[in-house]
């Protein structure tokens, strides 16, 4: 039974079904019940979105930055006014505990607030290039943007792309994840209420492969931004290469956490557990590999398991829930396989490792701890993206750093220590885009977010995110107006 139905795409300022009436069911991962239906866009729908984005860009790029700023700030206010309602919707379609959904909605409107100010700060340069010659360097919007976002943060990740794009004067076609699309619709509605002109923001749902192929084969799209997996990133990069489309990509990670011997093992374990099981581990910057010094290893593992045993698994709408369900059954199957393979490779299962017996319905998986995990285990090389913590021992920092840097990922990393000097030394050597030293909160509107290696290219959030949506144009100005007539093929008329 449909209990919620925010089920319209947003194209050219109009809320509409797909042109052929096709739809996709959205289910609550805690109950597996259908809670909404969203349109399955046809290619004619996507073409309409392309035409709208091209038209919208011509209007929006000519709109002065202060007006764009006011629009972004009004959109932030609209999201803030619906804070509790949207958090509830987010929990039902994504699964995370309500407290985490509230925090995510707050993070989404903060993106709009931050970039409303950045819209007013777009500046260029005037260069005194040589005698009687100046060069003006302008920064202009890059053009219509194709944006793709996943289901793990259905409000924050679209906001992280939409806000800077609109601030820069770009239009956008957003393809949110079909598993959790309603938060993206709510952002579009907030922008509509704020007075955003039709066509500047368009939101379509449906077959991701078909939609991305259509968008990236169009010469209208001048920018691609993706948050997703490495395989999807490779596919879209190849498609973007055909039209030489600028790209920003955040492709996930496998964040190492190095626990130095000078720290309290029980306090370190408490911090790590709180970060690891947020959103059931479905966080791209989640700490996913724990390297602990041998001197404190056993005490740390015991404390870690004790903390995990206290976590309550359940429906995210229950205020007592600490860990909600995974978003879909595919994640449950993937986590089950990783745990079994790690045990076969020699790891010890300390707690968890299966679906909860008291949760027969829903995509649940017990918070799990694996200890003495060998480096060859697949879970140490591939991002688990779930509520599983593999813990391993090390003897010296050089060894820990080599193992931490030993994967192809480089998004985030963490160091836990009571010696800030040692912590900063270790942080400097981690091959990642972001490091937390005694801190797992790395995502702020005003700070760059991005990684290295297979974790992607470019950054989002922070002032530097504006560069992703702007291009530079040089205008060269000669200060003398006398041009010899012979140089332009004209006869002199002087008598």
DSSP line for 364-395: ----EEEES--TTSGGGTS---SSEEEEEEES
Contact yes or no for 386/335 (Cβ under 8 A):
yes
Q: Enter the tokens of residue 13.
A: 């300022």
Residue carrying structure tokens 């139905």? 5
Question: CA–CA separation, 30 vs 316, rounded Å?
Answer: 8
Q: Which residues have a catalytic role annotated?
A: 250, 284
* Residue 414: closest CA among 392, 395, 439, 394: 439
Question: CA–CA separation, 312 vs 304, rounded Å?
Answer: 15
Residues in the chain: 495
pTM summary value: 0.93
DSSP β-bridge partners for residue 11: 14
DSSP letters of 168-204? HT--EEEE--TTS-HHHHHHHHHHHHTTPPTTSEEE-
Contact yes or no for 276/385 (Cβ under 8 A):
no
Q: Can you give the pLDDT at residue 79?
A: 97
Report the SS3 class of residue 292.
strand
The domain segmentation of the chain, as residue ranges, is 9-251+455-475, 255-437
DSSP letters of 26-60? EE-TTT--EEEEEE---HHHHHHHHHHHHHHHHHH
Write out the chain's pLDDT in tens, 495 residues. 333 344 689 999 999 999 999 999 999 999 999 999 999 999 999 999 999 999 999 999 999 999 999 999 999 999 999 999 999 999 999 999 999 999 999 999 999 999 999 999 999 888 876 777 888 999 999 999 999 999 999 999 999 999 999 999 999 999 999 999 999 999 999 999 999 999 999 999 999 999 999 999 999 999 999 999 999 999 999 999 999 999 999 998 999 999 999 999 999 999 999 999 999 999 999 999 999 999 999 999 999 999 999 999 999 999 999 999 999 999 999 999 999 999 999 999 999 999 999 999 999 999 999 999 999 999 999 999 999 999 999 999 999 999 999 999 999 999 999 999 999 999 999 999 999 999 999 998 999 999 999 999 999 999 999 999 999 999 988 877 544 544 433 333 332
- CATH number for the region 255-437 comes to 3.40.309.10
Statement: 9-251+455-475 belongs to CATH 3.40.605.10: yes
Q: Can you give the pLDDT at residue 487?
A: 40
Report the SS3 class of residue 62.
coil
Question: CA–CA separation, 355 vs 280, rounded Å?
Answer: 13
Contact yes or no for 448/464 (Cβ under 8 A):
yes
* Residue 250: closest CA among 404, 38, 442: 442
Compute the Cα dihedral for 146, 148, 149, 154 and give only its sign: positive
Burial 377-403 (b: 16+ CB within 10 A, else e): bebbebbbbbbbbbbbbbeebeebbeb
Question: CA–CA separation, 46 vs 255, rounded Å?
Answer: 36
247 Cβ contact partners less than 8 Å away, ≥ 6 residues apart: 223, 224, 225, 226, 236, 237, 240, 457, 458
396 Cβ contact partners less than 8 Å away, ≥ 6 residues apart: none
């Amino acid at each position: 039974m449909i209990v919620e139905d925010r089920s319209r795409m947003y194209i050219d300022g109009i809320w509409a079904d797909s042109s052929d009436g096709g739809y996709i069911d959205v289910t609550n991962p805690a109950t597996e019940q259908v809670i909404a239906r969203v349109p399955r866009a046809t290619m004619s729908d996507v073409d309409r979105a392309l035409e709208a984005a091209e038209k919208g860009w011509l209007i929006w790029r000519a709109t002065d930055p202060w007006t764009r700023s006011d629009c972004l700030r009004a959109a932030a206010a609209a999201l803030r006014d619906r804070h509790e309602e949207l958090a509830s919707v987010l929990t039902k379609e994504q699964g995370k505990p309500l407290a985490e959904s509230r925090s995510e909605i707050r993070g989404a409107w903060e993106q709009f607030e931050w970039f409303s100010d950045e819209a007013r700060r777009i500046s260029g340069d005037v260069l005194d290039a040589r005698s009687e010659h100046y060069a003006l360097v302008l920064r202009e919007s890059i053009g219509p943007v194709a944006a793709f976002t996943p289901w793990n943060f259905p409000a924050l990740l679209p906001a992280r792309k939409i806000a800077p794009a609109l601030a820069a004067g770009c239009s956008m076609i957003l393809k949110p994840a079909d598993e959790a699309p309603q938060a993206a619709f709510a952002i579009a509605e907030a922008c509509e209420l704020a007075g955003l002109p039709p066509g500047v923001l368009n939101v379509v749902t449906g077959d991701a492969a078909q939609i991305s192929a259509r968008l990236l084969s169009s010469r209208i799209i001048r920018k691609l931004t993706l948050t997703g997996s490495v395989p999807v990133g490779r596919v879209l990069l190849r498609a973007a290469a055909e039209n030489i489309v600028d790209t920003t990509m955040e492709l996930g990670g496998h964040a190492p956490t190095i626990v130095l011997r000078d720290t309290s093992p029980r306090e370190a374990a408490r911090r790590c557990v709180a970060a690891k099981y947020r959103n059931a581990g479905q966080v791209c910057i989640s700490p996913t590999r724990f390297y602990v010094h041998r001197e404190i290893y056993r005490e740390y593992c015991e404390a870690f398991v004790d903390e995990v045993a206290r976590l309550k698994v359940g429906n995210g709408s229950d205020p007592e829930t600490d860990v909600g369900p995974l978003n879909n059954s595919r994640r449950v199957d993937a986590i089950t396989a990783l745990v079994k393979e790690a045990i076969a490779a020699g790891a010890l299962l300390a707690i968890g490792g299966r679906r909860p017996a008291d949760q027969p319905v829903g995509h649940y998986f017990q918070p799990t701890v694996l200890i003495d995990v060998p480096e060859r285990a697949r879970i140490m090389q591939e991002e688990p993206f779930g509520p599983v913590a593999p813990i391993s021992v090390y003897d010296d920092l050089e060894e820990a750093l080599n193992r931490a840097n030993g994967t192809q990922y480089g998004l985030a990393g963490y160091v836990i220590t009571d010696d800030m000097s040692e912590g900063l030394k270790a942080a400097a050597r981690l091959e990642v885009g972001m490091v937390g030293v005694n801190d797992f909160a790395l995502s702020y509107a005003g700070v760059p977010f991005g990684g290295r290696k297979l974790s992607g290219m470019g950054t989002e959030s922070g002032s530097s995110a504006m560069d992703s949506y702007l291009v530079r144009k040089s205008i060269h100005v000669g200060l003398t107006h006398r041009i010899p007539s012979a140089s332009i093929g004209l006869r002199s008329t002087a008598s």
